[in-house]
């Protein structure tokens, strides 16, 4: 029997509240299926299962808040004979069952019925249940949502927690390099001539591609610091998306090194709006191995990022600006981008970081290498 | 029933007879007419001996023609008498339905308020004497449907004894339902109770957990059920509607406002009965007092069977009431 636990969706996550089960005991699930939605500081997240088998039992009730790592469900592998299915509440009914009198009393007293456990028929909330709360015999269950003062603030707190941890624990070192983007932009112009407006590539896709390829060559920067550096096989690029109301979300582009520029563009077009809407899947929140922070056009020249733990490095891309550019004894004006690396000095040293930046620079200045 | 109807005082039959006798002694305009009420002493011996006391002008045997003698009663009432018309059983009452609906209940309206019909019709009814499908009826709802009538149900000895006089005092037609299965049962009647208020329902037992709202044959069954439930910690209130038209909303509402739950019990066929109306009024008026759905126990919708066990199964019994209340209160 496989235990399905509340996943960690980032270093800052301590607990999540189950909002809905999308499966019931007896359902067949396969790796990657979304089986639940969980409310976290980063919004409602679709939780994926990592195993294939048959749901045996759902252990957590809707609206229950549990710490990361708590057993949420048992999944029988295909080899295991499914244990007789226990009758479980369907968990999908969100309408509150309450008697007319209970509703009226709760409304009069300003009590949220969702905080009361019903003891009536079919779990209906009766006037006796409301009276017990009014008389203080049973305190209402403190509901997570009541404490929240808004999604933006939750995100703020999540960012604060992660960044504090990073600044407290990670000895950062910083490197930067200027890159002439003229060839890259010319390549993009040419490439976009063959694409419809919808499929058009943006400069950012070259940055993602260049980083992914560079990480193949410098795997030390693609991993987690967990009492030592553990390099990751997959190159999942976390892409910082800043939210309109403040805060950031960092959805992952899985296997970025294996995707071509068009596929990467498709990924970006998919995850950015979903990140803004706070509708991401659990794997997109928890599995990035390296982070890119790209400021985009018309913004600051340089960004020195703070590493998102337990990752060990972050690449920052400023906006492309025209700058004087000396080359072969000549002065020219070129579109230039400042690229920075923030890296964990516990995991790597400046030489490694520098090698990485120089490879990124090489790819961006020779874009034909990127699409090989 | 044994627990509640003590063998101390009088039978239901005797209670009715005393009521008739007292009314006739008080007012010489009161007279009794009906099939076999005189020389035979009444089909159920209710009027036995009254012919000797009051004479054939006031204890009047009539031909077997319900439409005819009910019409005669209406005529007498119009001319200022206070007739008590006995319809032997409710099934025969159908034959007089035209007189009841189109004359007794309507003349006040048709005459522009000039003609009152101070008529009392007593009807024996009910189920439980193995009289089979054609003679076992609970047709209170048919009469309660008709505007212009006052419809009473004597579910207790007390009401059988004290309901007739206020009915006779009414300027308009009153139907009183009496229950043949109760005739031999003895019960307590307080002589000094005074007249029944025939505008109000009656709370027969105080309780706080659930209101059993019933009438007629359901009253004693509900009281017995409440006694059993009390031993199990459920405190049921029993409301005897008693007045089926016009319904006394306030007594019903006050009870449900107190208990927040209601079970409606009657022997009449389940669909479109008095409980249907009471249920609707509760919903319409005091929905937000409810802590559970209003439930009904009515008669099975079949011609009432002759065999005793099937007859019993066709109407709500004490055990059915107990079970229904446990379901509402304990969800089991």
Instruction: Give tens-digit pLDDT for B205-253.
Output: 999 999 999 999 999 999 999 999 999 999 999 999 999 999 999 999 9
Q: Residue B11: in which H helix or E strand, if any?
A: strand B10-11
- Given a cut of 70, is residue A93 above it in pLDDT? no
Looking at domain A154-370, its CATH architecture is 2-Layer Sandwich (3.30)
Give the residue extent of every domain in chain A: 2-76, 100-147, 154-370
**Helix then strand then coil, % of chain A, to nearest 5:** 35, 25, 40
A150 pLDDT band, cuts 50/70/90, is low
Task: Report yes or no: A102 at the B interface, CB cutoff 8 Å.
Answer: yes
pLDDT for B5: 45
Strands of the sheet containing B82-87, edge to edge, are B59-61, B30-34, B82-87, B120-125, B174-179, B150-153, B243-245
In chain A, what percentage of residues exceed pLDDT 70? 91
Beta-carbon separation of A127 and B287 below 8 A: no
CB contact under 8 A, A100 and B290: yes
Residues in B touching A104 (Cβ below 8 Å): 288
The partner residues of A43 in beta bridges, in order of sequence, read A40
H or E segment and range at residue A175: strand A172-180
3-state secondary structure of A179: strand
Mean pLDDT across A34-51: 82
Asked if residues B69 and B92 have their Cβ atoms less than 8 Å apart, the reply is no
Name the percent of chain B in helix, strand, coil, to the closest 5. Answer: 40, 20, 40
Q: Which helix (DSSP H) or strand (DSSP E) does residue B228 occupy?
A: helix B218-231
Q: What would the two tokens of residue A161 be? A: 């927690």
B10-193 shares its CATH topology with B202-330: yes
The mean of the pLDDT values for chain B is: 95
Instruction: Name which of B155, B179, B152 is nearest B166 in CA terms.
Output: B152
Q: How confident is the model at residue A147 (pLDDT cuts 50, 70, 90)?
A: very low
**Closest to B85 measured CA to CA, from B166, B40, B20:** B20
pTM to 2 decimal places: 0.57
Work out the average pLDDT over A296-303.
88
Q: Considering only CA atoms, which of B124, B141, B71, B130 is closest in space to residue B102?
A: B71
* Tens-place pLDDT, residues B138-151: 999 999 999 999 99
CB of A239 within 8 A of CB of A268? yes
Contact of A103 with chain B, judged by CB distance below 8 Å, is answered with yes
Beta strands A313-317 and A172-180 are unpaired
- Please indicate whether residue B135 is annotated as part of the active site: yes
Q: Give A171-228 pLDDT, tens digit per residue.
A: 999 999 999 999 999 999 999 998 888 888 989 999 999 999 999 999 999 999 988 9
B202-330 CATH, one of 3.40.50.920, 3.40.50.280, 3.40.50.300, 1.20.1440.120 = 3.40.50.920
Given a contact cutoff of 8 angstroms between Cβ atoms, the answer to whether B108 and B115 are in contact is yes
Q: Which of residues 127-146 of A touch B (CB under 8 A)?
A: 127-128
**Which backbone phi and psi does B16 adopt, to 5 degrees?**
-65, -45
Phi, psi of B241 (to 5 degrees): -60, -45
Interface test with A, best of B257, B286, B288 (most A CBs within 10 A): B288
Residue A80 has a pLDDT of 64
Which residues of chain A does B292 touch, with a Cβ-Cβ cutoff of 8 Å? 99, 120-121, 126
Cβ–Cβ contact A152 with B under 8 A: no
Q: Is the pLDDT score of A145 beyond 50? A: no
Q: Where are the domains of chain B?
A: 10-193, 202-330
Contact B290 A126 (CB under 8 A): no
Mean pLDDT of chain A: 85
Pairing relationship of beta strands A53-58 and A71-76 according to DSSP bridges: antiparallel
Q: What is the CATH number of domain A100-147?
A: 4.10.320
Evaluate whether ipTM surpasses 0.90. Answer: no
- The span from the CA of A321 to the CA of B292, in Å, is 71
Beta bridge partners of B177: B123, B153
Alpha-helical (H) ranges within chain A are: 100-109, 127-134, 144-147, 151-169, 182-193, 203-217, 261-276, 282-286, 350-365, 367-370
Q: What are phi and psi of B187, to 5 degrees?
A: -155, 170
Nearest to A101 among B288, B328, B331 (CB): B288
Going from the C-alpha of A300 to that of each of A313, A319, A360, the distances in angstroms are: 20, 6, 20
Per-residue DSSP letters for B141-177?
HHHHT-TT-EEEE--SHHHHHHSHHHHHH-SS-EEEE
Class of domain B10-193: alpha beta
CB-based contacts of A242: which residues, under 8 Å, 6+ apart?
A248
CA end-to-end span of chain A: 45
Q: Has residue B266 got a pLDDT over 70?
A: yes
CB-CB under 8 Å, A104 with B292: no
What is the Cα–Cα distance from B262 to B277, expressed in whole angstroms? 13
- How many contacts does A have with B, using Cβ atoms within 8 A? 29
In the predicted model, what is the mean pLDDT of residues B297-318? Answer: 97
| CATH T-level topology, domain A2-76 | OB fold (Dihydrolipoamide Acetyltransferase, E2P) (2.40.50)
Q: What are phi and psi of A19, to 5 degrees?
A: -100, -35
Catalytic status, residue B162: no
CA distance B233 to chain A (A): 16
Tens digit of each residue's pLDDT (9 = 90 or more) over A259-291: 999 999 999 999 888 888 888 888 888 889 999
Closest CA to B31 of B51, B11, B45, B48: B51
DSSP secondary structure string for all residues of A145-161: HHH---HHHHHHHHHHH
Q: Specify the pLDDT at position B273.
A: 97
- How close, in Å, is residue B286 to chain A by CA atoms? 9
In the predicted structure, residue B87 carries a pLDDT above the cut 90: yes
Q: CB distance B291–A126 less than 8 Å?
A: yes
Decide if A265 contacts A280 (C-beta within 8 A): no
Q: What is the dihedral of CA B179, B181, B185, B187, to 10 degrees?
A: -30
B286 contacts: CB under 8 Å, gap ≥ 6? B253, B256, B257
Among residues B35, B135, B140, B186, which one is catalytic? B135
Using the beta-carbon criterion (under 8 Å), do A99 and B291 form an inter-chain contact? yes
d(C-alpha B43, C-alpha B62), whole Å: 13
């Amino acid at each position: 029997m496989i235990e399905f636990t509340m996943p960690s969706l980032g270093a800052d996550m301590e607990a999540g509240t189950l909002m809905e089960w999308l499966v019931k005991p007896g359902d067949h699930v396969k790796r990657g299926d979304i089986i639940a939605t969980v409310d976290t500081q980063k919004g409602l997240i679709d939780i994926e299962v990592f195993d294939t088998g048959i749901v045996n039992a759902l252990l957590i009730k809707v609206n229950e808040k549990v710490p990361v790592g708590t057993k949420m469900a048992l999944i029988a592998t295909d080899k295991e004979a499914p244990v007789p299915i226990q009758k479980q509440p369907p968990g999908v009914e969100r309408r509150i069952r309450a008697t007319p009198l209970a509703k009226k009393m709760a409304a009069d007293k300003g009590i949220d019925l969702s905080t009361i456990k019903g003891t009536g028929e079919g779990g209906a909330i009766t006037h006796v249940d409301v009276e017990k709360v009014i008389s203080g015999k049973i305190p209402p269950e403190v509901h997570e949502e009541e404490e929240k003062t808004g999604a933006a603030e939750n995100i703020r707190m999540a960012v604060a927690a992660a960044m504090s941890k990073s600044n407290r624990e990670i000895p950062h070192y910083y490197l930067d390099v200027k890159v002439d983007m003229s060839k890259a932009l010319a390549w993009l112009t040419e490439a976009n001539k063959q694409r419809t407006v919808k499929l058009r590539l943006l400069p950012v896709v070259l940055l993602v591609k260049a980083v992914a390829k560079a990480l193949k060559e410098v795997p030390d920067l693609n991993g987690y610091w967990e009492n030592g550096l553990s390099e990751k096989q997959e190159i999942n690029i976390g892409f910082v998306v800043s939210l309109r109301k403040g805060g950031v979300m960092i959805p992952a582009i899985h296997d970025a090194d294996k995707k071509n520029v068009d596929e990467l563009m498709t990924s970006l077009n998919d995850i950015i709006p979903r990140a803004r809407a706070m509708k991401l899947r659990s794997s997109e929140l928890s599995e990035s191995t390296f982070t890119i922070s790209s400021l985009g056009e018309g913004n600051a020249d340089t960004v020195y990022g703070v590493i998102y733990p337990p990752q060990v490095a972050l690449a920052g891309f400023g906006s492309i600006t025209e700058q004087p550019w000396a080359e072969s004894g000549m002065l020219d004006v070129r579109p230039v981008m400042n690229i920075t690396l923030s890296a964990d000095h516990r995991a790597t040293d400046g030489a490694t970081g520098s090698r990485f930046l120089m490879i990124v620079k090489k790819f961006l200045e020779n874009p034909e290498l990127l699409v090989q | 029933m044994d627990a509640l109807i003590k063998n101390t005082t009088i039978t239901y039959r005797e209670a009715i007879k005393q009521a008739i006798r007292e009314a006739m002694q008080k007012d010489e305009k009161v007279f009794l007419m009906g099939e076999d009420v005189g020389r035979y002493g009444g089909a159920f011996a209710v009027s036995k001996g009254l012919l000797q006391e009051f004479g054939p002008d006031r204890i009047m045997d009539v031909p077997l023609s319900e439409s005819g003698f009910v019409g005669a009663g209406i005529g007498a009432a119009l001319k200022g008498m206070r007739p008590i018309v006995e319809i032997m059983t409710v099934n025969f009452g159908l034959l007089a339905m035209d007189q009841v609906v189109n004359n007794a209940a309507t003349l006040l309206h048709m005459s522009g308020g000039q003609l009152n019909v101070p008529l009392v019709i007593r009807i024996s009814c009910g189920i439980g004497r193995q009289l089979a499908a054609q003679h076992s009826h609970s047709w209170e709802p048919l009469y309660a449907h008709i505007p212009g009538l006052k419809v009473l149900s004597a579910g207790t000895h007390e009401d059988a004894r004290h309901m007739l006089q206020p009915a006779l005092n009414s300027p308009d037609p009153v139907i009183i339902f009496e229950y043949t299965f109760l005739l031999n049962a003895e019960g307590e009647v307080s002589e000094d109770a005074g007249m029944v208020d025939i505008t109000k329902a009656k709370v027969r037992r105080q309780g706080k957990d659930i209101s059993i709202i019933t009438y007629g044959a359901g009253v004693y069954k509900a009281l017995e059920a409440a006694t059993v439930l009390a031993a199990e910690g459920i405190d049921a209130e029993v409301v005897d509607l008693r007045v089926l038209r016009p319904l006394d909303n306030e007594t019903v509402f006050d009870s449900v406002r107190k208990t927040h739950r209601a079970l409606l019990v009657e022997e009449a066929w389940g669909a479109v009965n008095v409980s249907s109306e009471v249920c609707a009024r509760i919903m319409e008026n005091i929905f937000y007092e409810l802590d559970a759905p209003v439930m009904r126990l009515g008669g099975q919708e079949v011609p009432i069977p002759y065999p005793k066990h099937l007859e019993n199964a066709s109407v709500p019994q004490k055990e059915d009431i107990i079970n229904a209340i446990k379901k509402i209160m304990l969800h089991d």
